Structure 1
Amino acid sequence: MSKTLVMNFLNESGKKTAIRVNNVKEDVTEAEVKAAMDVILAKNIFATTGGDLKAKDSAQVDDKNSTELAVK
Protein backbone atom coordinates (compact mmCIF):
# COMPACT_ATOMS: atom_id res chain seq x y z
CA MET A 1 0.00 0.00 0.00
CA SER A 2 1.32 3.41 -0.95
CA LYS A 3 0.44 6.62 0.90
CA THR A 4 0.68 10.09 -0.58
CA LEU A 5 0.56 13.30 1.44
CA VAL A 6 -1.30 16.04 -0.42
CA MET A 7 -0.72 19.56 0.93
CA ASN A 8 -2.97 22.25 -0.54
CA PHE A 9 -2.00 25.91 -0.49
CA LEU A 10 -3.51 29.13 -1.81
CA ASN A 11 -1.28 31.22 -4.05
CA GLU A 12 -1.20 35.00 -4.61
CA SER A 13 -4.05 34.84 -7.11
CA GLY A 14 -6.22 32.89 -4.63
CA LYS A 15 -6.02 29.60 -6.51
CA LYS A 16 -5.38 26.22 -4.90
CA THR A 17 -2.03 24.56 -5.53
CA ALA A 18 -1.15 21.05 -4.35
CA ILE A 19 2.22 19.65 -3.35
CA ARG A 20 2.33 15.86 -3.19
CA VAL A 21 4.81 13.73 -1.26
CA ASN A 22 4.85 10.05 -2.20
CA ASN A 23 5.55 7.20 0.22
CA VAL A 24 4.80 9.21 3.34
CA LYS A 25 5.39 7.35 6.60
CA GLU A 26 2.50 5.41 8.10
CA ASP A 27 2.26 7.44 11.31
CA VAL A 28 2.61 11.01 10.00
CA THR A 29 0.84 13.42 12.37
CA GLU A 30 -1.16 16.59 11.82
CA ALA A 31 1.48 18.52 13.76
CA GLU A 32 4.24 17.27 11.42
CA VAL A 33 2.24 18.21 8.34
CA LYS A 34 1.40 21.67 9.74
CA ALA A 35 5.07 22.24 10.54
CA ALA A 36 6.14 21.15 7.03
CA MET A 37 3.56 23.44 5.43
CA ASP A 38 4.73 26.34 7.62
CA VAL A 39 8.33 25.77 6.50
CA ILE A 40 7.27 25.63 2.83
CA LEU A 41 5.49 28.98 3.23
CA ALA A 42 8.32 30.59 5.23
CA LYS A 43 11.08 29.50 2.83
CA ASN A 44 9.05 30.43 -0.28
CA ILE A 45 10.78 27.75 -2.34
CA PHE A 46 7.98 26.85 -4.77
CA ALA A 47 6.76 28.98 -7.66
CA THR A 48 3.34 28.67 -9.25
CA THR A 49 1.76 30.30 -12.29
CA GLY A 50 -0.47 32.22 -9.86
CA GLY A 51 2.43 33.60 -7.83
CA ASP A 52 3.97 32.66 -4.50
CA LEU A 53 2.23 30.36 -2.04
CA LYS A 54 0.51 32.52 0.58
CA ALA A 55 -1.60 30.34 2.89
CA LYS A 56 -2.30 26.77 3.99
CA ASP A 57 -5.64 25.48 2.70
CA SER A 58 -5.87 21.79 3.60
CA ALA A 59 -3.98 18.50 3.72
CA GLN A 60 -4.81 14.84 3.39
CA VAL A 61 -3.18 11.43 3.17
CA ASP A 62 -4.35 9.36 0.22
CA ASP A 63 -4.04 5.56 0.37
CA LYS A 64 -3.54 3.68 -2.85
CA ASN A 65 -4.07 -0.05 -2.85
CA SER A 66 -3.20 -2.04 -5.92
CA THR A 67 -3.38 -5.72 -6.69
CA GLU A 68 -1.01 -7.12 -9.24
CA LEU A 69 -2.50 -9.64 -11.62
CA ALA A 70 -0.51 -12.44 -13.24
CA VAL A 71 -1.41 -12.12 -16.91
CA LYS A 72 1.69 -13.58 -18.56
Structure 2
Amino acid sequence: MEYVLTMTFLTSGGLKSTLSINGVKPNLSKDLINSLMDIIVAKNVFLTKSGELVKKESAQVTERKITKFEVA
Protein backbone atom coordinates (compact mmCIF):
# COMPACT_ATOMS: atom_id res chain seq x y z
CA MET A 1 0.00 0.00 0.00
CA GLU A 2 1.07 3.55 -0.69
CA TYR A 3 -0.23 6.52 1.27
CA VAL A 4 -0.51 10.09 -0.02
CA LEU A 5 -0.96 13.17 2.17
CA THR A 6 -2.93 15.90 0.40
CA MET A 7 -3.03 19.34 2.01
CA THR A 8 -5.20 22.18 0.76
CA PHE A 9 -4.45 25.82 1.57
CA LEU A 10 -6.06 29.15 0.82
CA THR A 11 -3.86 31.62 -1.04
CA SER A 12 -3.55 35.39 -0.67
CA GLY A 13 -5.50 35.64 -3.94
CA GLY A 14 -8.46 33.85 -2.34
CA LEU A 15 -8.09 30.59 -4.26
CA LYS A 16 -7.29 27.06 -3.08
CA SER A 17 -3.92 25.42 -3.67
CA THR A 18 -3.08 21.76 -3.01
CA LEU A 19 0.21 20.10 -2.04
CA SER A 20 0.58 16.31 -2.12
CA ILE A 21 3.30 14.16 -0.56
CA ASN A 22 3.62 10.54 -1.70
CA GLY A 23 4.95 7.74 0.49
CA VAL A 24 3.90 9.04 3.91
CA LYS A 25 3.40 6.78 6.92
CA PRO A 26 -0.16 5.46 7.24
CA ASN A 27 -0.48 6.45 10.90
CA LEU A 28 -0.04 10.23 10.62
CA SER A 29 -1.89 12.02 13.40
CA LYS A 30 -4.12 15.05 13.07
CA ASP A 31 -1.75 17.00 15.33
CA LEU A 32 1.28 16.17 13.18
CA ILE A 33 -0.50 17.18 9.97
CA ASN A 34 -1.71 20.42 11.57
CA SER A 35 1.84 21.22 12.73
CA LEU A 36 3.24 20.55 9.25
CA MET A 37 0.64 22.79 7.64
CA ASP A 38 1.30 25.54 10.21
CA ILE A 39 5.03 25.39 9.39
CA ILE A 40 4.36 25.56 5.65
CA VAL A 41 2.23 28.69 6.12
CA ALA A 42 4.64 30.30 8.62
CA LYS A 43 7.80 29.70 6.56
CA ASN A 44 6.13 31.07 3.41
CA VAL A 45 8.32 29.07 1.03
CA PHE A 46 5.71 28.32 -1.64
CA LEU A 47 4.39 30.87 -4.11
CA THR A 48 1.50 29.95 -6.38
CA LYS A 49 -0.03 31.74 -9.35
CA SER A 50 -2.68 33.10 -6.99
CA GLY A 51 -0.23 34.21 -4.30
CA GLU A 52 1.24 32.93 -1.05
CA LEU A 53 -0.26 30.17 1.07
CA VAL A 54 -1.97 32.00 3.93
CA LYS A 55 -4.41 29.60 5.64
CA LYS A 56 -5.05 25.89 6.13
CA GLU A 57 -8.17 24.59 4.40
CA SER A 58 -8.15 20.77 4.70
CA ALA A 59 -6.01 17.63 4.67
CA GLN A 60 -6.46 13.96 3.92
CA VAL A 61 -4.45 10.76 3.69
CA THR A 62 -5.33 8.52 0.75
CA GLU A 63 -4.45 4.84 0.56
CA ARG A 64 -3.53 3.49 -2.87
CA LYS A 65 -3.10 -0.14 -3.75
CA ILE A 66 -0.94 -0.67 -6.80
CA THR A 67 -0.94 -3.94 -8.69
CA LYS A 68 1.76 -4.40 -11.31
CA PHE A 69 1.47 -6.95 -14.09
CA GLU A 70 4.19 -8.47 -16.23
CA VAL A 71 3.36 -8.08 -19.92
CA ALA A 72 5.22 -9.56 -22.82
TM-score range, shorter chain: over 0.9
In the alignment, the residues of structure 2 paired with residue 26 and residue 59 of structure 1 have an alpha-carbon distance, to the nearest angstrom, of 14
Tell me how far 1:54 sits from its aligned partner. 0.8
How many residues are aligned here? 72
**Runs of 4 or more consecutive aligned structure 1 residues displaced over 3 Å after TM superposition:** none
Letter in 2 for 1:43: K
User: Hey, what does 1:49 align to over in structure 2?
Assistant: 49
Letter in 2 for 1:67: T
For the aligned residue pairs, the C-alpha RMSD in angstroms reads 0.8
In the alignment, the residues of structure 1 paired with residue 41 and residue 12 of structure 2 have an alpha-carbon distance, to the nearest angstrom, of 12
Question: Unaligned stretches of 5+ in structure 1?
Answer: none
| TM-score normalized by the length of structure 2 | 0.94
Relative to total residues, which structure has the larger strand share, 1 or 2? 2
Matched, 1:10 2:10: yes
Identity of aligned residues (%): 38
| TM-score normalized by the length of structure 1 | 0.94
1:1-72 alignment runs, 5 A limit? 1-72=1-72
Letter in 2 for 1:41: V
